[in-house]
Amino acid sequence: MGDTECPACGDSYERLAQHWAMSADCSYPPLDRRRHEILSGLLMGDATVHNPPSAANPRMEVHSVNSRFLEWIDEQLAWLSNTVTLRRTSDEIREANRSSALERFASVDYEIRDQYLLTTRRHTELNRYAEWYTEEQKRFPEDLRLQPITLKLWYVCDGNLLWGTKGHTRPQVWISAYNEKDRKAFVRGLFDPTPITPTFHEGRLMLTSDETEWFFEYVGEPVPGFEYKFETGSKEMYEELKEAFYRRHTTTNAA
- C-alpha–C-alpha distance, residues 68 and 215, integer Å: 23
Strand partners, 172: 162
Give 9 or 86: the residue with its C-beta nearer to Zn ion: 9
Give 26 or 206: the residue with its C-beta nearer to Zn ion: 26
| Cβ–Cβ under 8 Å, residues 220 and 148 | yes
Residues 6+ apart with CB under 8 A from 74: 81, 83, 84, 118
Site size with Zn ion, rule: CB under 5 A: 4
Residues 6+ apart with CB under 8 A from 132: 43, 49, 138, 139, 140, 141
User: Closest approach of Cβ 59 to Zn ion, in Å?
Assistant: 18
User: Closest approach of Cβ 85 to Zn ion, in Å?
Assistant: 24
User: Closest approach of Cβ 80 to Zn ion, in Å?
Assistant: 13
Q: Quick one: which segment of 3-11, 59-67, 136-144, 233-241 binds Zn ion (CB under 5 A)? A: 3-11
List the x/- string, 5-24, binding to Zn ion by CB under 5 A: -x-xx---------------
Give 9 or 206: the residue with its C-beta nearer to Zn ion: 9
Give 16 or 47: the residue with its C-beta nearer to Zn ion: 16
User: Closest approach of Cβ 22 to Zn ion, in Å?
Assistant: 10
Q: Where are the beta strands (DSSP E) in the chain?
A: 4-5, 12-13, 48-50, 59-64, 81-88, 115-120, 133-134, 137-138, 159-162, 172-176, 199-201, 204-206
| Cβ–Cβ under 8 Å, residues 57 and 17 | yes
One-letter amino acid identity for 51?
N
Q: What share of the chain is helix, strand, coil (3-state, %, to 5)?
A: 40, 20, 40
Give 6 or 162: the residue with its C-beta nearer to Zn ion: 6
Among 26, 86, 117, 206, which residue sits at the site for Zn ion (rule: CB under 5 A)? 26
Q: Quick one: which segment of 25-33, 59-67, 175-183, 225-233 binds Zn ion (CB under 5 A)? A: 25-33
User: Closest approach of Cβ 121 to Zn ion, in Å?
Assistant: 12
Site for Zn ion in 46-105 (CB under 5 A): none
- C-alpha–C-alpha distance, residues 147 and 90, integer Å: 35
Residues lying near Zn ion in the complex (CB under 5 A): 6, 8-9, 26
